[in-house]
Amino acid sequence: MRHVYAVLPVCLLILAIAFTPGASDERARATSDREPPVAKKVPHVRELHGDRFVDDYFWLREKSNPEVTKHLEAENAFTDAVMKPLEGLQETLYDEMLGRIKETDLSVPYRDGNHWYYTRTEQGKQYQILCRKRGSLDAPEEIYLDVNELAKGEKFMALGAVAVSDDGNLVAYSTDNTGFREYRLHVKDLRIGKVVESPVDKVVAVAWAADNETLFYTTPDAAKRSYRLYRHTLGQTDDALLYEEADERFRVDVSRSRSKDYLFLDVDSHTASEVRYLRADQPTAAWQLVAARENDHEYDVDHRGDLFYIRTNQGGRNFGLMTAPTANPDRGNWTELIPHRADVMLQRAILFRDHLVLSERENGLPGIRVQRFGTAAWQAVQFPEPVYTSFPTPGPEFDTTALRYRYESFTTPSSVFEYDMSTRQTKLLKEDEVLGGYDRTKYTSERIHATAADGTKVPVSLVYLKSLKRDGTAPLFLTAYGSYGAPSNVGFSSNRFSLIDRGVVYALAHIRGGGDLGKPWHDAGRMMNKKNTFTDFIAVAEHLLAERYGAKDRLVIEGGSAGGLLMGAVTNMRPDLFTAVVAHVPFVDVINTMSDASLPLTVTEFEEWGNPAKKDEYEYIKSYCPYTNLEPAAYPAMLVKTSLDDSQVMYWEPAKYVARMRALKTDDNPLILKTNTAAGHGGASGRYDRLREIAFDYAFMLWQMKVPGVLDP
């Protein structure tokens, strides 16, 4: 889910100019005649449980109010003025990052039915092109979706669901042209190259039945909770409503089994599940229940032969695997196949005709194990580096011995491997090419552990130049997420080397609240344990400084969305610890947002953050809510970014946060807010536009890290 200048009688914008060799350690200063915007105060009183809070900036929620537009435009103008001396650096960074990318490229093809499918990109084009070839890779190319064409005349374009019918003749796809996650469903006949069904507004998930004419889809309510399932028959206009979920904690999803024999309707909250199934060749039959929802029981289902395979936390928080007969999958008929293990998180079970593949996490690292059905032996896929990410990427083929998986690390580009589950041989199909003379041998990657206040060991992954001298003087970049049980995977980014090659140490903290060490790690950083997420991050920062990985006055931290909440919380708790903060679409107004059930995600996330309507949960959230806890103090330099059409963290959260911080802060460090007026939660949709955004962020970071040469002399 869901980032000041002191307001002085005479306010000058202070910009730090970077060193040049031989310059004094004191940053030179430059000034601008622009003053930071000061938002007007319109007192709005919030009262909960006898507690009264005056919110002077509540009015910024009024998106259609011209004064709101004027204020956001003023903030953008001020940000542009602050960053203007860094325009040359931004252009340099953009050129560097673009120079490492193979702009015209294509993915590894995969087979589905009679076709081979792949995507490709072309130099100068913002979006991917979806292609296929019939029967053989030597056949002529057929472009079935060109996102560049879909994006013509639009400021934003995101492709959502894409599903090809079993006979390969039709593709159902959805598009969002605002960033507000309102996807329109289209059905295109690939034989004639035209959309043949009237678009359906606000569609989330899509799945075909086996008859090639029946399409199931889900739709959201006003709060963007997917809650209804419909059945659409081609050529008909009256779609049948099959299911509606009344409990606002639960969302619905529709999918197809890997065998393609069944459809599944998943109804999930953050802590409970309920699955229904339907034969894919009987689309008008009644959906049947696997197991009714129970508090704290989560499960998901797939199919092979005459069995359902059920990943379940019935035996423990890290999940095990059970089977049930398709003829009667009642919970009383479940049989344990893989027991729960306290030290291994079962993330996913993937079924093939003859093999079972497990995607797992152990000691904070991912693993893949393979077993042939009917045997007891397991094969573990081996990985060459101590810090990495790998996950299975099986194609649609069910009857195959070829398992695709993706592998990458901080220094190894994203790579696609194929593992033969019968011969146990592995071959590299493709490693993303990094242009510009990239040399992975120049860098060191390692994993260390910091000790949290309660003694918990928190993993930290790092990458930096081998030539680094650990003398406590290097610029240091620390990032984390730490929510929803999502692991912070170690990934390759060619962009990142624009920082590392300038001497920056990059650190990724695997803090509690994430899923790096399984579900207990998540539990230890959510609800009434949420503050462990923040204290873990602070402990990691202190450890890195103590171990002399970097300098305290060159430490920049970054996080987005729930990671933006992390940024706001730790900045309030330890404003002295960080030089600068970059907060992307930050979830910083926790109490107000979690008190408004009309907003997207609020009710479904009571089980992650808590419900302010409950006094004990309100008091706990209040103790860390970044917006609520701002006070007169000296804060680090801050870059806060948001999008006007963000549907997950509404633009007003960061806007209010900046306005309030600016009124309270006692320092002269830069505080800037940048609002993208043509994007959603993930920022710009085009790949070149996204590079521009990264170059902007990196320029701010390098400036605050006092890296030599970041400004023209």
Active site residues: 561, 646, 681
Phi-psi region at 623: left, alpha or beta (left = phi > 0; alpha = psi -120 to 50): alpha
Contacts of 92 (CB under 8 A, 6+ apart): none
Strands (E), 177-305: 184-189, 194-200, 206-208, 214-220, 226-233, 240-244, 251-256, 262-268, 273-279, 288-291, 299-304
Token pair recorded at residue 162: 């894409």
Token pair recorded at residue 56: 């002077």
CA pair distance 539, 546, nearest whole angstrom: 10
Strands (E), 480-612: 505-509, 555-560, 580-584
Residue 327: half-sphere exposure toward Cβ, Cα within 13 Å = 1
Token pair recorded at residue 649: 């963290």
Phi–psi pair at 69, nearest 5 degrees = -60, -45
- Cα of first residue to Cα of last residue in the chain, in angstroms, is 42
CA pair distance 94, 90, nearest whole angstrom: 6
Beta pairing, strands 426-431 & 443-451: unpaired
Contacts of 151 (CB under 8 A, 6+ apart): 126, 127, 157, 177, 685, 686
CA pair distance 321, 309, nearest whole angstrom: 7
Residue 54: half-sphere exposure toward Cβ, Cα within 13 Å = 4
Q: Between the CA atoms of 319, 322, 327 and 333, what dihedral angle is there, to the nearest 10 degrees? A: -100
Burial class (CB in 10 A: 0-12, 13-18, 19+), 52: exposed
Q: Give the DSSP H or E segment for 336.
A: strand 335-338
Phi–psi pair at 261, nearest 5 degrees = -80, -20
Token pair recorded at residue 157: 């374009």
DSSP characters for 428-477? EEEE--B-S---GGGEEEEEEEEE-TTS-EEEEEEEEETT---SS-S-EE
DSSP characters for 355-424? EEEEEEEETTEEEEEEEETT---EEEPP-SSSS-EEEE---S-SS-SEEEEEEE-SSSPPEEEEEETTT-
Contact between 458 and 536 under an 8 Å Cβ cutoff? The reply is yes
- The angle subtended at Cα 145 by Cα 139 and Cα 148, nearest 5°, is 120
Contact between 262 and 304 under an 8 Å Cβ cutoff? The reply is no
Q: What secondary structure letter does DSSP report for 180?
A: S
Distance of CA 140 to the CA centre of its chain: 36
Strands (E), 494-544: 505-509
CA pair distance 186, 219, nearest whole angstrom: 14
Closest CA to 624 of 553, 515, 701, 537: 537
Token pair recorded at residue 559: 């996080």
Contacts of 326 (CB under 8 A, 6+ apart): 262, 303, 306, 307, 308
Contact between 584 and 559 under an 8 Å Cβ cutoff? The reply is yes
